[in-house]
Structure 1
Amino acid sequence: MAMANKVMTERPAARSRKTSLQPTPAAGRTILFQNENSLIEFIRGDMPSNRLAVTFAPPALCDVNGFGYYEDRLRTEGFDVLAIKQASDMGYADLTAETIATVCDQIPQYQSVTVLGTEAGATAALRLFSAFSNVTILAVSPDMTVDCALAKPVQAQITMIYDPCVPAQVENFQQASTLFSRATVFKTPHTGSPARYSLEESGTLVALVIAMGEGTILDVNRHFRANRHLSATALYVLGNDALTKRQLPAARRLLKRSYEVENRPEIGIAYCHTLRESGAPLDAVAFMKTIVDRYHHNAHLWAALSYFQEMADEREEALMSIRHAIELQPQVEPFLVAERRLLNDLFDDLRMKQMMTEAALNKSRAEFALAQGHGGTEFSWERATMLAVGSLLILVTLAAVAISFRLV
């Protein structure tokens, strides 16, 4: 089963500088295996190649009808691709080493074979390909909660990447290292969980696969640090870390830059937190409104806007926003809890105003009585009347609010 033992004689395909490819014509795609959940598809590049990339789609990309994981980018770089996909996240438990061996017998021999997997896909890559000789496996953030019963002995060259700042990844790596003690390990701090997003966006992942395909060594951390300004995820992870450490100027700078690289809602919300923590709650509200304008059908973003409005003491506006969130998703319990809390706060505010008005009116009555007792002429009936009318107006408003919000 050493599918890379036969060295091909043609020259490696030149790297294309195109940033994207059109879908491979049907003639260039061959389904080699399919069951109820998994599909294995062989995709030839536009030019002859002696390099094969085997890719396992991560759990977030369950779609047997779409492109294989990283397929278009790897074809751009001159690889043929064996794409292993699944319809739902089963950790590829339905695939066996025998299935993989049968599939490999149906494809050409390659000088270089690189197997790429992340999370559960990384674990599947280790489980299904570790017994192959002359194969290199790149396992990014392997998820060792998935069964990893290995076919012994381990013959593949294995490289593992994980973020040592993420406790779950550290635990997974510790389990994996007991099975693959000879693996090459790259610790990539602040890549996040899973690490693949930062590595993809910075270009580090494809650079590493290319290096493996060519039999060269890449300084992963050096490449990542030099290019992480291109990764919204990497900047987001750094910004959140700075926010946690109360390094607010750094957090604001990093999260603002992250949002400029890619307008993702979670990044914008984190940036709003830095604005609020920096003493600019109204700026946080204003920025959150721009996010809601972009994604106005997202109930959770309306709820986030309500939160920042409440923090800025704009409780009436906060109530309107949370009620809009409820209109979009009526059954979300935290939305209903937030609405009730805001209603109670507004009701308490109105009662407090009523008490203050009554106190002012009582004071005016006392002043009137004192003036009458001393024959004074300083007291103004107009003032007493205005206070009484003001109190009445507040009572009317209180009643209207109570009726509107079904408090009575």
Structure 2
Amino acid sequence: MTDILVLGGGYTGVAAAIRVAHRTRSTGARVTLVNASPRFTERLRLHQTAAGERLADHALTDVLAGSGVEFAQGRVTAVDPVRRQVSLGDGRTLGYDKLIYALGTVTDATVPGVAEHAHVYDDYAATVRLSEHLDTLTSGTVIVAGGGLTGVESAAELAEARPHLHVVLLTRGRPGSMMSRGARAYLDRALERLGVEVRAGADITKVLPDGVELAGGELIHSDATLWTTGTRGLPLAAESGLTVDERGRIVVDRVLRSVSHPDVYAVGDAAAVTQKFGVMHGTCQGGIPTGLGAADSLAATLLGRTPPPFRFGYVHQPVSLGRRDAVIQFTHPDDSPRRWYLTGRAAIAYKETVSSSPLPQFRLLKRGLVPVWAFGLTAGRS
């Protein structure tokens, strides 16, 4: 019996676990998913949680039911790729023959004060703490640091749901800079309509208990600071001796195996995956296909087949602008913008379709079917 461990119970880890369990059923492989929390977090919707919306709570045991995947709750503290063992915080040790590493990333806290004073989206509990803090404010200023898609969605969501608070979006570049001119203009108008103050060209050098400091010494007061400016891989990967890149992500080969330890597959935000256009950046759009791709590669290996190289291309950049507006920028495979984009009601419908609850898609995976997450996955999977 082959023991397969999947570390991480987010979108990518769950998708990989269900897929590999289905694909290796004939081999008698045993698949176990390890996660620190017993709940499945819809990380795509954490900005809604921050704004005060309470989403449905899904137990991982329920999500995995009927898939053949066993669940083990525990926080991973060490991976030994030589002994092929994983250590958990409660003293347990789990052995494996093959490992899928899907532990994701954490907020890049290299700017002084981020770890001590900023709110982050590292997990559901941290997001709830932000929401509960905002509940105590009858007025005040909320700073959202970072003009990427997460920062834009968060600023819009908070401004719409909590109009009594002044939301300031601080970004080095222009919000939505990766979009086409028309889509950027629409995004700008939406933020202005929602009352979000946008300060481009802002270089934050320090986060303080009651604000931030910019390069040049300017201080901006805030009653809460949300940090969305970048992520890094967990130190765990490098500490385990796995080859990582400058952001701590595990470097993988063409079939998503660690270049230093081929019994380890890395997926999602935790992996540095190179395609023709360069290294993939961390998004759910790219993360879940890597989970499916790694599962297929691993299954093919166990079945004595040669796994095909993983190939991926981006399709879109979906951005919610509160609950009643959105903009969808369609992209070339390298994520550069095409001419076409959607706005308003059409964009809302599209966004809700591609980022709706994953549970129906997990059910498709259990039956061996390809879900809508396969957008961008072009390696001939089935």
- For normalisation by structure 2, the TM-score amounts to 0.30
Larger radius of gyration: 1
More strand by share: 2
Q: Which has the higher helix share?
A: 1
Task: Give the TM-score taking structure 1 as reference length.
Answer: 0.28
